[in-house]
Structure 1
């Protein structure tokens, strides 16, 4: 970010962020693009925070102390899938299209690649969410399949794409 950009910090999700995360995902515009249901209570997020599973990393993006974005990275616990992780994220409407998703995703993928030894990162995204699909492709995610009638949104069953990014194997010298 350039010096004229607002200061945005990324932090590990904590008790101090529960109200902000709840507000982020209760925004109807954000809720319609993610798999969270609207009108969740702070207790739902408090329970997610309490899991204390080291394979789950939840980050929040803050601007002037306000939660403006979130990304979660969950490495699978099953032995035969422990090389894989799943991500999900949400960005406040006012911050969409301003590079915040790029920063969140880059940070999560750095953790996956360099700290968790994840080889495959998976996600699902609504098939009509062109901005998110473009972001994921920019980071090497490829569409692996179409999930027809995947979820209910606005009272209709809508399709989603299954996407994944495979980490390049290190080159042997």
Structure 2
């Protein structure tokens, strides 16, 4: 699928059902820190918390939400040069450039509009595809966090990764 058929837009009310469906896909849920069986109301509340310290994007193909990314600048004065990001891509679209498009757009805003020096994230230590994507964009592993979260009834490790500019 050509990337030209994918558009990135700011997450809006019209995308709530699509973002809810994205994160309610069990294959996506197990790779992010979201709980299964979320309601649309959770995403509506997150959307309402929107301010200029956050960038919330969706990737669309023919109007369907196929990816989501959130970048948030820390509000504490001494951490204002830092931001944290999280993302999810629909299983059918993984490995097809959607994550790269979302990440490139977010980092362009982080660098040139938010003036962030540091962007950080956590990723499950066994999510090799995501780790490869983040490395491609200059993220480096800073540490292993053991038993960070529960997934499928088991404790799993995550990597702390960050990109400095």
Alignment TM-score, normalising by the size of structure 1: 0.93
For residue 46 of structure 1, give the secondary structure of its aligned residue in structure 2. Answer: helix
For residue 145 of structure 1, give the secondary structure of its aligned residue in structure 2. Answer: strand
CA contact (8 A) 2:3 2:97 kept: no
Rounded to whole Å, the distance in 2 between the matches of 1:12 and 1:40 is 21
For residue 115 of structure 2, give the secondary structure of its aligned residue in structure 1. Answer: coil
Aligned pairs for 1:113-128 within 5 A: 113-128=111-126
Q: Aligned pair in 2 of structure 1 residues 116, 5: CA closer, same or farther (>3 Å)?
A: closer
1:163 alignment partner in structure 2: 161
1:91 alignment partner in structure 2: 89
1:56, distance to aligned residue in structure 2 (A): 1.1
1:54, distance to aligned residue in structure 2 (A): 1.3
Q: Deviations over 1:17-63 (max 9, x none)?
A: 00000000000000000001110000000000011321111000000
Q: 2:104 aligns with which of 80, 103, 106?
A: 106
Rounded to whole Å, the distance in 1 between the matches of 2:43 and 2:128 is 28
Rounded to whole Å, the distance in 2 between the matches of 1:145 and 1:63 is 35
Q: Deviations over 1:103-135 (max 9, x none)?
A: 110000000000000000000000000000000
Gaps of 5+ in 1: 168-173
Whose radius of gyration is greater, 1 or 2?
A: 1
For residue 10 of structure 1, give the secondary structure of its aligned residue in structure 2. Answer: strand
Q: Deviations over 1:53-112 (max 9, x none)?
A: 211110000001000000100000000000000000000000000111111100000000
Matched, 1:75 2:73: yes
Matched, 1:133 2:140: no
Structure 1 stretches (4+) deviating beyond 6 angstroms?
A: none
Aligned length: 165
